[in-house]
Structure 1
């Protein structure tokens, strides 16, 4: 579909944001190694007697360096495979021929990435994409990755923290170790979809949208049930990673990552902290993905608020999503609008409103109780068919001494076929 026109200023802002995200990924190694150096400085300050009690710590710090290097190699392969949905040279204020300026401003262009890859005799990767306002890509597994050295880019540490969060999300969606969380969150949704759509036709599959799709596993599992499934995700941190896993991996356990190395707190043992995780846990090419499975990048309100989306979806599935809104009432209004009459909305998640304490003077955060969320839903034509609570975690380290549990709301609502 064609999206709304964007001004050159908006395009440049998007390009700069994307460069910053890519820079955050590439700065992961330096930031993580800086943490290790901090650990070592603390160890050196110990008295001789205390050092003698903990002689293994220097070896642990060397192991952390090795783990960081392996994570960084995965990230670099991921970035090399990424095909930006915008022309990264459109920023007139950016001199793409000045490598010094690129590094100093924490900016990187697509051509820079390709030149880096070519310098290591790496062939360019290909990705099937349709370039509109939402950047949709057909998720067809293939593989073409390679490693090379990368420049050191300056980005805020908060950006690198987001990269660490992505690494934990990879475990939740694409590792065997994340199976428990997936069974807590995704399995009830999948079972509900099977109950509600028992007769799914391969010739005319029901259409299911998954806003806030993250790294894409739930949307993929829905596709494997015989739905025409589309995941929608706003975060390019997520989209870059999901695109790589969905389109550029060929084998089960093709990649090894170390997701728990970024904190020394609440570990039962060093072995737990340093344990590897293999991804993905399934063979994507033979997973049974329904034709038409796609991931769409873009703001949910902008992409699906379009009039052409009205009445086009049989089901909308939201998992840990509705509390990402500045205005949850707007989310609900759009979900109601895009569903066909009689269509279903399945939701699972808490109400941990993401902007409750971080919005600026020109922004907003509407933080409703669960009762008020349901009240708004009824106003927009929903009828409650099923409701219960599901206890679950989110990107939790299963071997950590600290576990955060959510009593997540789980419901099915149906859009009335006719207005009351």
Structure 2
């Protein structure tokens, strides 16, 4: 398969959502329900416009931060300004980086066909937001400085049809996406702006060459374990099924598929799913896009060039990676989507990477995993116990069950799991490798096998 081939249609089941706020490793995420009814459709109509608005508000929010930096610079005395005369030029470089990120975002949104008419729900104007036309004019204005950069609009559309993304790589006029008009966007709180920046950072972890070290630390032990446990997986009749809850931007689920598994990623966040769908379904070749993921962090930079360095994505062409035909991504809350009778005993393996601590009730996660695994199936886990809903300000009524590792293993034993392998590894999570500050995790890596069916009341 040539690198420029049309990408396969990775199944992406988009469910409806209800909003919950939780403590992610950097930002909050959504909680999403699965079945559509009038009430849930109304909730989607309420929440999805805010997510789209957060993405579209990215350049405006970034510009506001730059203006704050400019005001601070202007307060310096002449003598102090003379020591950092390059600072105004740095701000102009930052504006060009923001423009590049914005083009990636708008191409991503143009490839998204909403399940509802967003224009009916996006009526509050954002004063000062940049429209698509204004961004295109900005691109022309800065063209002389960006000749070597990947700035272009690949107008693509996708059709949501029964949970499948059927895409056409032809050109589509911007008018077909009237909901992208910034004059219709809703007010965007800061927490939602931060979610967009967090997605941009996460792209490096899953789809940038610079994220290879983290992928080797976190994904490689999982892939090696799957490879060892399922040697007879390459025949269609014996191809095992592996579920990856909390799949994020989809790289781990894709790598598992490339090993020969029937692999499905499950992700709760619409922010993540919009981006993963775009990369998986619409990428034409490696390095097609250039983003600047570190520009929104002014602290702990060794140099301006480190902060403003470009990252080319994706590092591989997903359509040419060798995925099985049954590779897919499913959007929705893990428990609500998979805690159905139709899912019982359907999976040979469940892989959780930095996921089990995202639960309101980790016991429910383990119980659900036990239900959906076949007898003899395996749970492979890697991650800490950060507990996203612990000690959240303003969320005192949110349920949060925070167990020690010892208790987690005891609960797993109750639901029929037996430990086969356990060790501790050292890793980071979406960390800027050139930053002077890096948070390091020492998560547990384990393989548990479901020995028998468990009936609970």
Matched-pair contact (CA < 8 Å) for 1:385–1:413: yes
Question: What are the within-5 Å matches in structure 2 for residues 306-317 of structure 1?
Answer: 306-317=340-351
Contact 1:127 1:247 in 2 (8 A): no
**2:120 maps to 1:88:** no
Q: Tell me if the contact between 1:143 and 1:250 (Cα under 8 Å) persists in the aligned partners.
A: no
Alpha-carbon contact 2:111-2:155 (below 8 Å) kept: no
**Out of 395, 415, 424, which is 1:360 matched to?**
395
| SS of residue in 2 equivalent to 1:368 | coil
Q: Secondary structure at the match of 1:376?
A: helix
Q: 1:291 to 1:202 in 2, by over 3 A?
A: farther
* Counterpart for residue 436 of structure 2: 401
Question: 2: CA distance between counterparts of 1:410 and 1:141?
Answer: 38
Q: In the aligned structure 2, how far is the partner of 1:280 from the partner of 1:18?
A: 26
Distance 1:122 1:268, change over 3 A: closer
Matching residue of 1:245 = 279
What are the equivalent positions in structure 2 for 1:163-312 lying under 5 Å apart? 163-204=196-237, 205-312=239-346
Distance in 2, matches of 1:222 and 1:269, equals 37
The separation in 2 between residues aligned to 1:239 and 1:6, in whole angstroms, is 18
Deviations 1:30-66 (A, max 9, x none): 0011111111100000000000000000000000000
Matches within 5 A, 1:122-201: 125-127=157-159, 129-131=161-163, 137=164, 143=169, 150-151=181-182, 153=185, 154-201=187-234
Residue equivalent to 2:445 = 410
> How much does 1:95 deviate?
4.4
Residue 318 of structure 1 corresponds to 352
User: C-alpha displacement at 1:8, in angstroms?
Assistant: 1.4
Seen in structure 2, the aligned counterparts of structure 1 residues 374 and 24 have a Cα distance that, compared at 3 Å, is: same
Aligned equivalents of 1:128 and 1:292: distance in 2?
Answer: 18
Taking the aligned partners of 2:364 and 2:370, their CA distance within structure 1 comes to 10
Report what 2:57 is aligned to.
27
1:311-330 CA distances to partner (integer Å, 9 max, x unpaired)? 00000000000000000000
CA offsets, 1:362-381, max 9 Å, x none?
42000111101101000000
Alignment pair present for 1:330 and 2:364: yes
Three-state SS of the structure 2 residue aligned to 1:36 is helix
Could you say what secondary structure the match of 1:166 adopts?
helix
Shift of 1:121: 11
**Matched residues in 1 for 2:120 and 2:88: separation?**
43
Number of the residue aligned with 1:134: none
Cα distance change on mapping 1:36 and 1:355 into 2, 3 Å: same
What do residues 242-298 of structure 1 show as CA deviations (whole Å, max 9, x unaligned)? 000000111100000000000110000000000000000002221001111000000
- Structure 1 residues 198-207 or 388-397, which shifts more? 198-207
Distance 1:5 1:33, change over 3 A: closer
> Does structure 2 retain, via aligned residues, the 8 Å contact 1:190–1:222?
yes
Give unpaired runs (5+ residues) of structure 2: 1-12, 16-32, 137-151, 175-179
Q: What residue in structure 1 maps to residue 379 of structure 2?
A: 345
Structure with larger RCO (C-alpha < 8 A, sep 6+): 2
Which residue matches 2:42?
A: 12
Does residue 377 of structure 1 match 2:399?
no
Q: SS at the partner of 1:387?
A: strand
> What CA distance in whole angstroms lies between the structure 2 residues aligned with 1:147 and 1:277?
29
Aligned partners of 2:246 and 2:265 also within 8 Å: yes
TM-score by length of 1: 0.88
SS of 1:392's equivalent in the other structure is coil
1:62 corresponds to: 92
Q: Residue in 1 aligned with 2:22? A: none
Q: Within 1, Cα distance between the matches of 2:324 and 2:55?
A: 31
TM-score by length of 2: 0.81
Aligned residues: 397
SS of 2:271's partner is: helix
Gaps (5+ residues) in structure 1?
106-111, 132-136
